[in-house]
Structure 1
Amino acid sequence: MTGRRKLGGFLFLGITIGFAAAVQPGPTQIFIISRTLTGGWRHALPLACTYLISDIPIVTVVLLILSNVPDLARDILHLAGGVFLLYLAWGAFRTFKDYDRNQSYQTQSRVQSLFKAVTINLLNPNPYLTWSLVMGPMLINAWRENPVHGISLLVGFYGMMVLTTAVIIIIFGVIRRLGPVVIRILVGVSAIALSGFGIYQIVLGIHNLTGG
């Protein structure tokens, strides 16, 4: 019974952290919402797997080095991620500026959208910090205690992240049906938000690199 309780405890812990991570506003989530608004929820639904795919190399690197992500690497990621986000913000702004209510914006394939979403998350320092400071040590301890416990933690974490992201996509897919004016406004908001995150990451990276 104790073993089952521990197993359930690690599963619940993974679910809790996964939900908190999925609903946390960030550049990846904003990009996913932007794609949902311009392409519809069916087009954007595969993006629910973004975190699962992008975290494979992140988790591998963090667990191999068994230490925190170096400050220099974090700062470089801030800069690279900021530049990439500004590029995406420009694309969203162009969609906002040239929006045609009679035109379909599903010009990018699902694979292209997924690739961009994964790239955004790979250039975001937060997953590296989360895994090096929180999830990494937790997973190692759970795995050492019992590999099944570690697997339970991972299943709860990523299962909830995928499910929650899918629900967010569907919700904004419904909002998309409110009309072209609403879509255009929300796309404009997403462009501003992406720009804000991009500028913030660049400023933070420069500040850390210069020791300001």
Structure 2
Amino acid sequence: MKKILHIISSPRMEASASRKLGNAIIEKIKEKHADYSVIVRDLAQNPPPHLDESHINSFFTPMEDRTAEQLENIRYSDEAVQQLLDADILVVETPMYNFTITSTLKAYFDHITRAGITFKYRGNGLLPEGLLKDKQAYIAMTSGGIYSEGELKAYDFTAPYVRSFLTLIGINVAGVFRAEGQAIIGPEVALENGIGSISITP
């Protein structure tokens, strides 16, 4: 059975183009894999806490020495990491907000970046190496402008960042699909183009 982890980061609900595009990717994956299960982590409805000193101290305390309070501090992180470890395929939705990802998605990434679990340091201790090498991911990105090409391409800190982050922890990014140019060609056409571009690897 293929286990799909669906990460939603848009604060919008029914009107969200990234949710619609992400759902379309899920449907395409289902067509490839008849035997599947889907776990949804909606960051708008269950937002991750932004890291503070208590989280950092808990992460850096050896597991056997953590207090009950520290275990509670990293409970969100532990649950999110376990979901990630259990998954075969990730679908990560990310609308572009101010040229980059939502703050909730960044906070989620902070919670799943765990040394010795999702990545390790190698060489002189400064180079990261991803540990999640048996997984693939698809990215659903939406934007008002067109950032995949043209003069705005240099301002796309969304898709490149998500791709680079997932690659850093070892995940193979198999596709980035965009419903872009909503403010130019209209949201319906942009979404139709994005859905039409979806291609799932075997």
User: As a proportion of its length, which structure holds more strand?
Assistant: 2
Task: Tell me the TM-score normalized by structure 1.
Answer: 0.27
User: As a proportion of its length, which structure holds more helix?
Assistant: 1
Task: Tell me the TM-score normalized by structure 2.
Answer: 0.28
